[in-house]
Structure 1
Amino acid sequence: MIKNFLVFAFTVFIASSFNAQNRISTVEKSTTFETSSPKLVVGIVVDQMRYDYLTRFYNRFGEGGFKRMINEGFNCKNNHFNFIPTKTGPGHTSVFTGTTPKYHGIIGNDWFDKELKRNVNCVEDNSVESLGTLSNDGKKSPVQMLASTFADENRLFTQMRGKTIGISVKHRGAILSAGHSANAAYWWDYDHDGKGNWISSTFYMESLPKWVDEFNEKGTAKRYFKTWNTLYDINSYKESGTDANRYERVLKGEKQSSFPHDLAELKTENGGFHVVANSPFGNTLTTDFTLKAIEAEQLGKDNITDVLTVSYSSTDKVGHDYGPNSIEVEDTYLRLDLELERLFNALDQQVGKGEYTVFLTSDHGAPHVPSYLEDNKIPSGLFDLNAMLKDVNDKLFDTYKVSNLALSRINNQIFLDHQKMEEHNIDIQELKSVVSRKLLTYKLISTVYITSEINRFPESSGYQERLLFRGHNQKRSGDILFTFNPEVFKDSSWNRTGTDHHSGYNYDTHVPLLFFGKGIKQGETLKRTNITDIAPTMSALLGISFPNASIGQPLEFVID
């Protein structure tokens, strides 16, 4: 009896010791997990960056920017957008929410509001006030974004102790990346009151922080009214076409599109600070402001993860003006490579090498200039959307004797006047069929879809149908959607030189995706990844909830 009792007691002691040790081990593992998260996550979006800019300019990059990310981190070579349209607002939103316009609601940079009967901007918010400017450019917020970002989830996870700051020349690049709960989003007012201030809105704060006011007062932006010449000997730019050609925009005050571009002389006729935003110096200014934000906001200074989002917008503006084959674009990326190196060096010093994590991607790609493709016997074209809308309304008037039944054609979508259709007892489905048949008569239009069809697309639908399905928001999108043939975009005085973007073709969907830093493996893959995989991957790395509407998958082969 005594022997049995001793055996039982010894067994209980051993089991208790094991459980206690297991609890200690669990606590140790938990502590290790908490402290293993990066102190700072930096999400970089390079506006309008095609994937082939990485490979085309690779040999000209230094070791500390793009190459550092590739050599020390992970390169997803087959990364794509998985929805239409490929534009700045939807692109940034999808990168950081892990979902598509169908769920996050940002269906374009602007769209036609069915209740207001006018176009609305994706970040407009008249309930807030501007900070740092007298213009309405500060009346912006993420209120129209329906989903959370991974930065929002990090704020919730850390009981709002982890900071989030968003920075971009473009308001939508700063606001939609940072999310709803961000401490701040800052964008550059280059287009309105002429002061060139970094601004924000009362959505985030009552007044600009002292460090932002001090940055603005120094007039840093004015330093970039200088001559934009090539960084290196212009004869070394072998990866681009000729300097002066008919495919590029000629600024007011210039006789041709060739280097050098004297921004100080050009500013009066070209919108003041606008010429800086449309040059690589806009990216330099973005880095200037970002480095000040890291220092002033003490980002990455403790073990609670902060999130910094940086969108380099001037690449997009240069691309729109000069096109992918221009020396201007090549020079802009060689200069951006130096900006990335400057940013990474600052992070090494202020946060600590190996203590932060970075990803870099783009919000969309871009096609070559149509006239350049045509000169090289590749099918392309420009399509006059305004003329098309007039034609559609003329057809509808001939059919129903009611004027202006089609209200808008924004984002390759036709918005119809449902009120007029009800007042005149017009069958909606019949009218949609009339419009669809009319659209299919245009040579450059490839396909036409009625909204009711898109809502019923099965997952087994064709590739383009799935892209349209994911980009379609039932409440906000139009009644009819259409797509163009490859290498076709809208005709306007702005688009007859340079490039544009919007489609589901590879030139618009294939963009870089690079990871490097704490918790990231070194390697590369040709496996297809989607833009919506980024946010859940970062959430998995941080051990936090995925963004609430995320449809992407964590890229487990990226995480160490």
Structure 2
Amino acid sequence: MLKFNRILIGCLLVLPMWAMAQSAPPLTVVVVIDQLPLYLLDNNYDLFGDGGFKKLERDGVLYTECRYSHAVTETGPGHATISTGCKPVHHGIVANGWVDSTGKDIYCVGCPSVKLLTSTGIVDTVAAGCPDNLERDGLSDAWRATFGPDAKIFSMSVKDRAAITMGGRSANFSLWINWTNGHFQSSDFYGDRLPAWCATYNRNASAYFDKTWQLMRDPQTYARADGDTLWYEGGEKIGFGNSFPKSLRGNAADPDKKYIRNLLTSPLGNDYLYGLATTCLDSEQLGRDSIPDLLWVSFSCNDMCGHTFGPQSQEILDMMLRTDSLIADLLTRLETTLGRDNFWLALTADHGVCPACESSLVPRGMGGRFDFAAMEAALNDTLARKFTEGVVPEGGFFSSFGMTTISLHRRNLRDAGLDLGTVATATVDWLARQSGVAQAVVTMKAEDVAVIADDKLRAAIQNSYYPDRFGDLYLHPQPFWQTNEVAATHGSIHEYDVHVPLYLYGQPFGKSRNTAASDPMDLATSLGAAAGVRWESPRDGRARWNAP
């Protein structure tokens, strides 16, 4: 009887929260632009229309001093930080992938136990993704706990790691793209059948095959960008070309994965994802009843384009102009269908990007490119001479090597009878002498991180350090140094990688250009506070509603 009374009291405490008038509006939309440093907004602000980014700032609040505080500025940790309101040290997604202590490669949303879910059903032979590696509840989970089973929660992106970390464990569905056929898919973690509207929408995958990416404005608009064809751009490598116009079909006779790659490296890929989002809005009738719904959309094509051509390119400038138009269309659609007071919208980025070191955005004489393959080979030889009589162990001394985290090949080192700490120290000593390396530090244990002399670097790594996931070493590059594998990339703690916009648009958040120091993890915390959600544990982010 006592147990029954406790259950009854619990129900009386919980059920009214679903039945009473909510503080959240019928719909909340979170937009993430993959690879959007604040400098790209500032540099091109005068070219935007009145209904997109300018409207978000004019009728909402823009936090101009929003910076990530963690050490690995990649897609996985960025989206997890946005969606949970926590740092990687707490949510556990320290990078897109990592090597655990057994030497196993772990993908941040990889789940061998779940299966791929496509338009035709479950594919038993193909593993897919789920949020098992996410160690904190996210806004989606708190939303579900607060507003109940009838709240509709969807997340979608080109990338699985974006969609899954945003949707958490409680989304009705998290949807991402199949890079071979362009269909949106999921996993059986979320259900055994895709929503009918998603399966139907997948018929549009080849709709852009005969399309051409043309500049949307007159040529003079793009004079501020670098030239149309730059030697370090990567369009030729993927069969997309480095100059305009660009045919999405390339040299393919039929839609294939090369066409899909071209589509997703262009703003037309964002249009394709946006079409799925609007189909979801209409088919699920999001925001059309008294129970608050939540929609997450991450536009990843900006990142694909940025890596391929660089942030100083005409391609990225055109991508920015089209993204602005897309945001304007979304705001107009929401205001028309729901009304201005019946939705909130938040927008931020998962990371910024380092400009191509050869571009006009980099001060003369600064920057350079790492050849990590050559560096690893040279370092293997150096360590072999020092520790293994000149013979490099099969598989080398490292299981992962690059910017920013590096993992030792622990099994090889143990088999050779080597002390991991001694090899780690020798490695950072060698790295510190290489061109482009600002600092190299040992991060094998929390105690190693605690004694890093540089305050900023130590704090960033402490904010990211999760045992058995963070690398054994951390390479901090000099400004504007990056890999030679793509035109531009990200990952560091430099300003261009961590400084991103944060927009909050809705009645509780006010209207201003706010210069208070902030962090993208404030997004989930702010929306959660304004909506009155119940979190399982404290958040790292600060609630920014009706607050300075």
Query: Would you call these one fold, judging by a TM-score over 0.5?
Result: yes
Asked if the contact 2:208/2:248 (under 8 Å) is kept, the reply is: no
Quick one: distance in 2 between partners of 1:323 and 1:454?
38
Against the structure 1 CA distance between its residues 558 and 289, is the aligned structure 2 distance closer, same or farther, given a 3 Å change threshold?
farther
Quick one: distance in 2 between partners of 1:337 and 1:360?
12
Tell me which residue corresponds to 1:5. Answer: none
Quick one: distance in 1 between partners of 2:169 and 2:18?
29
Tell me which residue corresponds to 1:289. Answer: 276
Report whether the alignment pairs 1:322 with 2:314: no
Asked if the contact 1:225/1:276 (under 8 Å) is kept, the reply is: no
Against the structure 1 CA distance between its residues 255 and 265, is the aligned structure 2 distance closer, same or farther, given a 3 Å change threshold?
closer
Per-residue CA distance 1:295-334 (angstroms, 9 max, x = gap): 1112112222111100011111111111111111111111
Per-residue CA distance 1:85-128 (angstroms, 9 max, x = gap): 1111110110111112222111211222332x343321111211
Against the structure 1 CA distance between its residues 375 and 467, is the aligned structure 2 distance closer, same or farther, given a 3 Å change threshold?
closer
Quick one: distance in 2 between partners of 1:153 and 1:298?
21
Against the structure 1 CA distance between its residues 303 and 270, is the aligned structure 2 distance closer, same or farther, given a 3 Å change threshold?
closer
Cα shift at 1:368: 1.1
SS at match of 2:373: helix
Quick one: distance in 2 between partners of 1:476 and 1:253?
32
Report whether the alignment pairs 1:208 with 2:194: yes
Tell me which residue corresponds to 2:375. Answer: 388
Per-residue CA distance 1:68-94 (angstroms, 9 max, x = gap): 111100010111111111111110110
Give 1:205's aligned amino acid: G
Q: 2:60 aligns with which of 73, 79, 82?
A: 73
Tell me which residue corresponds to 1:108. Answer: 95
SS at match of 1:216: helix
Gapped runs of 5+ residues in structure 2?
Answer: 1-16
Tell me which residue corresponds to 1:491. Answer: 484
Report which stretch shifted further, 263-272 or 346-355. Answer: 263-272
Tell me which residue corresponds to 2:425. Answer: 433
Query: How many percent of aligned residue pairs carry the same amino acid?
Result: 27
Tell me which residue corresponds to 1:513. Answer: 502
Quick one: distance in 2 between partners of 1:523 and 1:415?
44
Report whether the alignment pairs 1:471 with 2:464: yes
Cα shift at 1:351: 2.7
Against the structure 1 CA distance between its residues 428 and 541, is the aligned structure 2 distance closer, same or farther, given a 3 Å change threshold?
same
SS at match of 1:57: helix
Q: 2:407 aligns with which of 399, 415, 434?
A: 415
1:370-389, aligned counterparts within 5 Å? 370-372=357-359, 377-389=364-376
Tell me which residue corresponds to 1:119. Answer: 105
Tell me which residue corresponds to 1:260. Answer: 245
Against the structure 1 CA distance between its residues 368 and 222, is the aligned structure 2 distance closer, same or farther, given a 3 Å change threshold?
same
Asked if the contact 2:61/2:510 (under 8 Å) is kept, the reply is: yes
Asked if the contact 1:323/1:329 (under 8 Å) is kept, the reply is: yes
Q: 1:223 aligns with which of 208, 213, 231?
A: 208
Asked if the contact 2:131/2:168 (under 8 Å) is kept, the reply is: yes
Against the structure 1 CA distance between its residues 255 and 132, is the aligned structure 2 distance closer, same or farther, given a 3 Å change threshold?
closer
Against the structure 1 CA distance between its residues 454 and 206, is the aligned structure 2 distance closer, same or farther, given a 3 Å change threshold?
same
SS at match of 2:249: helix
Against the structure 1 CA distance between its residues 40 and 376, is the aligned structure 2 distance closer, same or farther, given a 3 Å change threshold?
same
SS at match of 2:113: coil
Against the structure 1 CA distance between its residues 52 and 407, is the aligned structure 2 distance closer, same or farther, given a 3 Å change threshold?
closer
Asked if the contact 2:405/2:473 (under 8 Å) is kept, the reply is: yes
Cα shift at 1:549: 5.7
Quick one: distance in 2 between partners of 1:519 and 1:137?
44
SS at match of 2:515: strand
SS at match of 1:271: helix
Per-residue CA distance 1:41-67 (angstroms, 9 max, x = gap): 111000101112222222221222111
Tell me which residue corresponds to 2:34. Answer: 47
SS at match of 2:166: helix
1:48-447, aligned counterparts within 5 Å? 48-115=35-102, 117-132=103-118, 139-189=128-178, 191-192=179-180, 194=181, 196-217=182-203, 219=204, 221-223=206-208, 225-251=210-236, 257-267=242-252, 271-372=258-359, 377-401=364-388, 403=393, 404-447=396-439
Against the structure 1 CA distance between its residues 331 and 539, is the aligned structure 2 distance closer, same or farther, given a 3 Å change threshold?
same
Give 2:424's aligned amino acid: K
Larger radius of gyration: 1
Report whether the alignment pairs 1:522 with 2:511: yes
Cα shift at 1:225: 3.7
- Normalised to the residue count of structure 1, the TM-score between the two structures is 0.87
Aligned length: 522
Report which stretch shifted further, 259-268 or 303-312. Answer: 259-268
Report which stretch shifted further, 130-139 or 438-447. Answer: 130-139
1:516-555, aligned counterparts within 5 Å? 516-546=505-535, 548=537, 550-555=539-544
Cα shift at 1:254: 6.8
Cα shift at 1:423: 4.3
Against the structure 1 CA distance between its residues 453 and 103, is the aligned structure 2 distance closer, same or farther, given a 3 Å change threshold?
closer
Give 2:267's aligned amino acid: P
Give 1:173's aligned amino acid: A
Cα shift at 1:256: 5.8
Against the structure 1 CA distance between its residues 532 and 455, is the aligned structure 2 distance closer, same or farther, given a 3 Å change threshold?
farther
Quick one: distance in 2 between partners of 1:459 and 1:449?
7
Tell me which residue corresponds to 1:7. Answer: none
Quick one: distance in 2 between partners of 1:221 and 1:364?
30
Quick one: distance in 1 between partners of 2:81 and 2:59?
26
Against the structure 1 CA distance between its residues 556 and 228, is the aligned structure 2 distance closer, same or farther, given a 3 Å change threshold?
same
Report which stretch shifted further, 508-517 or 421-430. Answer: 421-430
Against the structure 1 CA distance between its residues 148 and 216, is the aligned structure 2 distance closer, same or farther, given a 3 Å change threshold?
same
Asked if the contact 2:63/2:514 (under 8 Å) is kept, the reply is: yes
Give 1:506's aligned amino acid: E
Cα shift at 1:233: 1.1
Against the structure 1 CA distance between its residues 335 and 111, is the aligned structure 2 distance closer, same or farther, given a 3 Å change threshold?
same
Give 2:94's aligned amino acid: I
Quick one: distance in 2 between partners of 1:263 and 1:523?
40
Cα shift at 1:156: 0.7
Give 1:442's aligned amino acid: Q
Quick one: distance in 1 between partners of 2:453 and 2:397?
34
Cα shift at 1:264: 2.7
SS at match of 1:243: coil
SS at match of 1:320: helix
SS at match of 1:139: strand
Quick one: distance in 2 between partners of 1:131 and 1:255?
30
Per-residue CA distance 1:194-230 (angstroms, 9 max, x = gap): 3x2111111101011211121123x254235411111
Against the structure 1 CA distance between its residues 170 and 83, is the aligned structure 2 distance closer, same or farther, given a 3 Å change threshold?
same
Quick one: distance in 2 between partners of 1:111 and 1:121?
7
Against the structure 1 CA distance between its residues 431 and 90, is the aligned structure 2 distance closer, same or farther, given a 3 Å change threshold?
same
- Normalised to the residue count of structure 2, the TM-score between the two structures is 0.89
Quick one: distance in 2 between partners of 1:255 and 1:299?
37
Tell me which residue corresponds to 2:10. Answer: none
Pairwise CA RMSD of aligned residues? 2.7
Asked if the contact 2:238/2:258 (under 8 Å) is kept, the reply is: no
Give 2:74's aligned amino acid: K
Against the structure 1 CA distance between its residues 545 and 434, is the aligned structure 2 distance closer, same or farther, given a 3 Å change threshold?
same
Quick one: distance in 2 between partners of 1:180 and 1:333?
32
Against the structure 1 CA distance between its residues 157 and 376, is the aligned structure 2 distance closer, same or farther, given a 3 Å change threshold?
closer
Against the structure 1 CA distance between its residues 240 and 477, is the aligned structure 2 distance closer, same or farther, given a 3 Å change threshold?
same
